[in-house]
Amino acid sequence: MTYKILFLDIDGTILKPDHTVSDSTKQTIKSVTEQGVHVFFATGRPLHELDQLAAKLDVHSYIGYNGAHAVHRGKTILNEPLRQDIVQKFLDIGYEHGHEAVLYTDDANYFTSLTNPCVKQFIEAFQLKKNELFTGEKTDHILGATLMNVKSAEEKWYNIDDLIHLSPVQTAGVKDCYDVIRQNFNKGQAVEQVLQLLDIKPEEAIAFGDGMNDKEMLAAVGESFAMDNSHPDLFQYAKHRTTSVTDDGIANGLKKLGI
């Protein structure tokens, strides 16, 4: 099989817990790129936080905001903000129950608080740079959102729309945080659009991930890998299991395919 495209989650897949990228991962991405394989980041992160990593790894195509926005070599190919009424409902629920949120636009991360300890912990865990206090504006420009300080028993309070669910954030140093995932605009849906645009068959595509926000992406490609450090529930959605992010997981997975 000739593989034409590789989708890579970032946190826990490319980035190790100390926020570094192993030499093995760097070399692997460089090698597959030189072989003519398209490499896409596929992340819950906002794209404005990817500049340094993209330059370091020479990657120029991205799926961000858990599938709401995609760019192929400088050209935007997908841009779908959250419905404004959903954003407001989630904020209202959070305010009522003492939860915090970060709302991602194409230019900044808007937090409902910049002083709450759980927010500070979240910013540190992801080393976010472009942080602002949410003041009630831009609710029609929100591409993605993460809820913080939400206990597992409280997740059900956000079950207000059949097309939206919460996915636990799988990153070292973060707890009680959930990404807002849409059924119609998620990593898997974005992958399908990218494949259609580039005229690539699913069986010619590979994906790696470690979090529950990756399950739709893993189902959309022919060869899918869950990192050994993945959320326990993710393995059932992956065709293969590879080693952890600290043990050359991407390189070892691709070796199984003869790459």
Q: What pLDDT, on a 0 to 100 scale, did the predictor assign at position 137?
A: 87
User: What is the b/e burial string over 36-73, where b = at least 16 CB atoms within 10 angstroms of the residue's CB?
Assistant: ebbbbbbbbbbbbbbeebeeebebbbbbbbbbbbbbbe
- Specify the amino acid at residue 86: I
172 has a pLDDT exceeding 90: no
Q: What b/e string do you get for 185-224 counting C-beta neighbours within 10 Å, with b at 16 or more?
A: bbbbbbbbbbbeebebeeebbbbbbbbbbbbbbbbbbebb
40-91 confidence digits (pLDDT tens) = 999 999 999 999 999 999 999 999 999 999 999 999 999 999 999 999 999 9
Task: Please determine, for residue 4, whether its predicted confidence score (pLDDT) is greater than 90.
Answer: yes
Taking the C-alpha atoms of residue 41 and residue 71, their distance in angstroms, rounded to an integer, is 10
For residue range 105-148, what is the model confidence (pLDDT) as tens digits? 999 999 999 999 999 999 999 999 999 999 998 899 999 999 99
In the chain, what are the domains?
Answer: 5-80+185-256 (3.40.50.1000), 84-182 (3.30.1240.10)
pLDDT value at 92 more than 90? yes
Residue 70: its pLDDT value, please? 97
3-state DSSP call for residue 96? Answer: helix
The answer, yes or no, to whether residue 160 has pLDDT greater than 90, is yes
Using one digit for the tens of pLDDT, what is the confidence trace for 185-234?
A: 999 999 999 999 999 999 999 999 999 999 999 999 999 999 999 999 99
Copy the structure tokens of residue 104.
Answer: 């991602």
Question: What per-residue confidence (pLDDT) applies to 171?
Answer: 86
What is the value of pTM for the model shown? 0.95
**Model pLDDT, residue 173:** 82
Q: Is the pLDDT of residue 39 over 90?
A: yes
Rounded to 10 degrees, the C-alpha dihedral 194/196/197/198 comes to 90
Ramachandran quadrant class, 73 (left: phi over 0; alpha: psi -120 to 50; beta: rest): left
Q: Residue 153's pLDDT is what?
A: 95
Instruction: Spell out the residues 6+ positions from residue 235 whose beta carbon is closer than 8 angstroms to its own.
Output: 226, 241
